Copies of this chain bind each other. A is one copy, B any other.
Amino acid sequence: MANLGFIGLGVMGSRMVKRLLAAGHTVRGYNRTRSKAVGLLDLGMRWGDTPAAVAQTADVVFSMVANTAALEAVTGGAQGVLAGLRAGMIFVDMSTVSPTASRTIAAQVAATGAHMLDAPVSGSVSTLEEGRLSFMVGGERAAYERVLPILQDIGPKVTYVGENGLAAAMKVATNLSLAVQMLAFSEGVLLAEKSGIARETAVEVLLNSVIASPMVKYRGPFVLGLPKEALFDVNMMQKDLLLALEMGRQLDVPLPTTAVTNELLTAARGMGLADKDFAVVFEVLAQLCGLKR
């Protein structure tokens, strides 16, 4: 069993630590707000006062934070992960961040003699709890092979995609479909509804059809009522679409459905819905159909 560090104990991170503890690993964790760690400490997790402190006592350090800025905050500075790394260690970032930023930090990690892997995930909280989360991993293959068994303790499907930053890129390439699928789903529901089919029935049929991806199965029912707390809101989704569109321009890849969907997310912001789950694109479209909220 391995000696692990874990930075970021939010909705996703805390559940990952639970699975790692359950698999028998030793885990020292850090979170900006310590109060979120209480439950995990009861389960045997140790506490580290800073990201650097967590890194100093571990062989492999994981991070799972909100965005590029948060990753830069926990890695840099005197108390950051970088300050605690030693030669031969592995730092695995599972956050969804800009491929460019990920590559930059990977170079800084390499300068300490340690190795970085970008290992973003595909799946929601429920996928994670059911042990069906999937990973894509970028970085040195040898480092990948060392952490593979540990990643599999969190989720079974792990795919090595290539050098540093490529998994971050792959995540962005995956996430654009989340938003587009949700908007196309909304188009279908509204077409059915205005034809005379009850919205509930339309959703039921679509969830039984060949277009029902795990994302559609999870988020489709949100058109009947949005969750109070958004785990992935318009702002977060649009951040990913903007990363995709930026990459598309750099790499000369036209992204027609992504571009159109992004404008509808902008409309959601214009309508004051930026902090709702991104399934709220349904309501933007419904309003354009003349259906009042």
Contact = CB atoms under 8 A, between A and B. Distances in A.
Contacts of A266: 248-249, 252-255, 288
B174 A205 contact: yes
Contacts of A123: 209-210
Contacts of A188: 173-174, 176-177
A95 to B, nearest CB: 16
Contacts of A210: 122-124, 127, 178, 213-215, 218
A198 B242 CA distance: 23
Residue picked from A180, A185, A214, A287, most chain B C-beta under 10 Å: A180
B187 A247 contact: no
A252 B269 contact: yes
Given A208-B159, A211-B174, A270-B289, A196 B253 contact: no
A14 interface: no
A225 interface: no
Assign chain A's interface to a size class.
35 or more
Given A134-B208, A270-B288, A288-B270, A181 B173 contact: no
Grouping DSSP codes into helix (H, G, I), strand (E, B) and loop, the A interface class, with mixed when no group exceeds half, is helix
How many identical subunits does the complex contain?
A: 4
Contact of A290 (B176, B244, B264, B271): B271
A189 interface: yes
A77 interface: no
Interface in A126-160: 127, 134, 136, 157, 159-160
A290 B157 CA distance: 32
A110 interface: no
Nearest to A261: B257
Given A122-B209, A192-B169, A159 B204 contact: yes
A33 interface: no
A162 B259 contact: no
Contacts of A215: 210-211
Q: Which 3 A-B pairs have the closest CB atoms?
A: A213-B213, A122-B209, A180-B184
6 contacts: A180-B184, A184-B258, A187-B258, A195-B247, A210-B214, A271-B290
